[in-house]
């Protein structure tokens, strides 16, 4: 019998560094990803904890829908209410009483640590993560999580998006764009990244089924970054 040699892709594991910000963890969330989640947020939720708020992209979207946000991150900027490491620190009971829900796009390299920590608080949460059927995901579903899965991929705003747009559109000699806010949505979409399918992993959202699929059109992705 002839033997076949199968080539397998080596398995790589992201380095988990809870105290440091990794470049692969700083991809920003487009507004349409939050819009997909809004109809499913439980009634009565008023104050949302964005525990890895970064530059405030998710916070701005949530506030546009009337939610109040408590913002923490390991970095400091104008959007952060408090420097706080979600993995190694813990909110006091009186602080937690003011929070109804946790919503974030967790750092990709330590998303499992974020989810496990969120379980400890035992309040509703929604984390934007890669959609798969890994052992971790199956375990989270067994523990009560439910998934909201868009019909197409979410394209994240890359950390170097301004440079990518200016270089890609040959705008450097003309001055180019200085800030993300100046870049038209169609160009943000063009130079954003969608390397995997994403989903909202929710807990205590009471969706009633393990998987809920929501439409996500190309038009929405291009016009609502």
Is 77 a member of any domain?
Answer: yes
* Res 179: pLDDT: 87
Total of domains in the chain:
1
CATH number at residue 106: 3.40.50.150
DSSP 210: S
Is 4 a member of any domain?
Answer: no
Q: How far apart are CA 93 and CA 132, in angstroms?
A: 34
Is 175 a member of any domain?
Answer: no
Is 157 a member of any domain?
Answer: no
The domain in which residue 116 lies consists of 23-151+198-213
- Dihedral of CA 58/150/165/105: which sign? positive
Is 54 a member of any domain?
Answer: yes
* pLDDT single digits (tens) 165-187: 999 999 988 889 998 889 998 89
Is 220 in a helix, a strand, or coil?
helix
Only one residue has tokens 């946000």, namely 69
- The conformational region for residue 172 under phi > 0 = left, psi -120 to 50 = alpha, else beta, is alpha
* Res 195: pLDDT: 85
Is 76 a member of any domain?
Answer: yes
* Res 203: pLDDT: 98
* pLDDT single digits (tens) 212-223: 999 999 899 888
Is 115 a member of any domain?
Answer: yes
Is 192 a member of any domain?
Answer: no
Is 136 in a helix, a strand, or coil?
helix
Q: Whole-prediction pTM value?
A: 0.84
% of residues, the chain, pLDDT over 90: 69
């Amino acid at each position: 019998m002839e033997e076949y040699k199968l080539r397998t892709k080596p398995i790589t594991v992201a380095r988990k560094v809870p105290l440091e910000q990794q470049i692969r963890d700083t991809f920003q969330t487009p507004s349409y990803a939050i819009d997909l989640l809004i109809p499913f947020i439980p009634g009565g939720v008023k104050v949302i904890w964005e525990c890895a708020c970064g530059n405030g992209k998710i916070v701005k979207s949530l506030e546009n829908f009337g939610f109040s946000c408590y913002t923490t991150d390991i970095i400091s900027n104008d959007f952060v209410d408090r420097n706080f490491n979600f993995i190694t620190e813990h909110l006091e009971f009186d602080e937690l009483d003011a929070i109804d829900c946790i919503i974030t796009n967790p750092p990709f390299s330590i998303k499992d640590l974020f989810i496990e920590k969120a379980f400890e608080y035992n309040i509703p949460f929604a984390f934007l993560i890669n959609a798969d059927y890994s052992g971790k995901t199956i375990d989270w579903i067994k523990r009560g999580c439910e998934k909201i899965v868009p019909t197409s991929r979410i394209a994240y705003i890359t950390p170097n998006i301004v440079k990518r747009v200016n270089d890609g559109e040959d705008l450097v000699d003309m001055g180019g764009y200085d800030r993300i806010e100046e870049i038209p949505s169609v160009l943000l979409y063009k130079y954003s990244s969608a390397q995997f399918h994403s989903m909202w992993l929710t807990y205590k959202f009471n969706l009633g089924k393990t998987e809920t699929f929501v439409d996500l059109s190309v038009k929405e992705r291009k016009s609502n970054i």
